[in-house]
Amino acid sequence: MKRDIISVMDMKDDFEDILASAVKMKKEPKKGSKQDVLKGKVLGMVFEKPSLRTRISFEVGMTQLGGKAVYIGPDEVSIGKRESVSDVANVLSRYVNAIMYRAFSNQTMRELAKHASVPVINGLDDLEHPCQCAADLLTVMEKKGKLKGLQLVYVGDGNNVCNSLLLGCALTGMNMRAATPKDFKPNADILAKAQEIAKGKGGRIETLSNPYQAVEGADVIYTDTWVSMGQEAEKQAREKLFLPYQVNDKLAEKANKDYIFLHCLPAHRGLEVSAEVIDGPHSVVFDEAENRMHAQKAILVAVLGK
């Protein structure tokens, strides 16, 4: 039976095993060992939204695992316009061993997975970003030596990245606070699910509106762009609304002295984060970007390597 990774919840039974596998695979190339577990396998990468990190990390990751990746841009497919979602899913399933889809809509993501006979991996949609979450927590684990019991604070827009982090933190026993304006909270269903999971894992999931209150005692501070692709018309209004949520040195003073700063990139210095923070000693954003590849390699092996 095929395994899709559409949500972090699709890794609920082996999320920490996937992170441990990513750690191992990150170390092995530096020892000169050859990884060919996906030799002969092909990943079809369907993009509705462009991305430096998603494309290169998946393509290089597949190459390192002995497989190949094929890029399919928006002009070549136009899912749901030039061709129906089901037709695209059925055709690609005849050519490739798995599909990575970077989409505008979670609904379209799930429709593609429904009709595809090969695994579908969510490279981002409007509800979740599970591969980014895996990379984020891999980075925290590297820098802090553990996950359980740590305090992660997300500041800004309760978007797809925030939604996936809520689930990832809950599954690993981390505590998470999401500080957002009242009309930009994370998805209510995902928040409720994360809080339910956290109770059984000894963690705590909270939402607040005051970023200074939220950041107190933080081990990890995380932010993301205030204006995602597709929201350009709201740019001016969003920037004004979110300005009190900028992660800068004044805000970060409330965190633990050894906090680390995460951002999924691309970043906008002077907006969601100040240059002094993202380019400062607490920032690990480029380690985090590298870890997209290692986390995704572990995910690819989890869905294709058996």
What pTM value is reported for the model? 0.96
What is the reported pLDDT for 79?
Answer: 85
What is the reported pLDDT for 31?
Answer: 54
Q: In this prediction, what percent of the chain has a pLDDT beyond 70?
A: 97
**What are 144-169's pLDDT values in tens digits?**
999 999 999 999 999 999 999 999 99
Bond from prior residue into 181 cis (ω within 30 degrees of 0): no
How many CB atoms sit inside 10 A of residue 110's CB? 18
- The radius of gyration of the chain from alpha carbons, rounded to an integer in Å, stands at 19
* Mean pLDDT calculated for residue range 190-201: 98
**What are 210-255's pLDDT values in tens digits?**
999 999 999 999 999 998 767 777 888 999 999 999 999 999 999 9
Q: Are the beta carbons of 265 and 283 closer than 8 angstroms? A: no
pLDDT of residue 33 exceeding 70: no
**8 DSSP assignment:** G
Q: Phi, psi (5° rounding) for residue 247?
A: -85, 110
Q: Are the beta carbons of 282 and 246 closer than 8 angstroms? A: no
What is the reported pLDDT for 181?
Answer: 97
CA separation for the pair 285, 290 (Å, rounded): 9
Hunting for tokens 């209004």 — which residue is that?
237
| Residues designated catalytic | 102, 129, 132, 224, 264, 292
pLDDT of residue 127 exceeding 60: yes
* CATH superfamily for domain 132-288: Aspartate/ornithine carbamoyltransferase (3.40.50.1370)
CA separation for the pair 59, 79 (Å, rounded): 21
Q: Are the beta carbons of 5 and 299 closer than 8 angstroms? A: yes
CA separation for the pair 4, 131 (Å, rounded): 12
Which of 124, 161, 173 lies closest to 19 in space, CA to CA?
A: 173
pLDDT of residue 32 exceeding 50: no
Q: In this prediction, what percent of the chain has a pLDDT beyond 90?
A: 89
CA separation for the pair 125, 122 (Å, rounded): 7
CA separation for the pair 191, 188 (Å, rounded): 5
* Confidence band, pLDDT 50/70/90 cuts, at residue 119: very high
Please report how the helices 160-171 and 130-144 are oriented relative to each other, as an axis angle in degrees rounded to 10. 50
What is the reported pLDDT for 30?
Answer: 58
Q: Are the beta carbons of 6 and 127 closer than 8 angstroms? A: no
Q: Hey, what are 102's tokens?
A: 């970077």
* Confidence band, pLDDT 50/70/90 cuts, at residue 34: low
**What are 57-102's pLDDT values in tens digits?**
999 999 999 999 999 998 888 787 888 999 999 999 999 999 999 9
* Confidence band, pLDDT 50/70/90 cuts, at residue 50: confident
- Kind and range of the H or E run holding 87: helix 85-95
Could you give the strand order of the β-sheet that contains 205-208, starting from the edge strand earlier in sequence? 205-208, 175-179, 151-155, 220-223, 260-263
Q: Which fold has domain 8-129+292-304?
A: Rossmann fold (3.40.50)
Residues of the chain with CATH 3.40.50.1370: 8-129+292-304, 132-288
Q: Vertex 95, ends 90 and 98: CA angle to 5°?
A: 80
CA separation for the pair 81, 89 (Å, rounded): 14
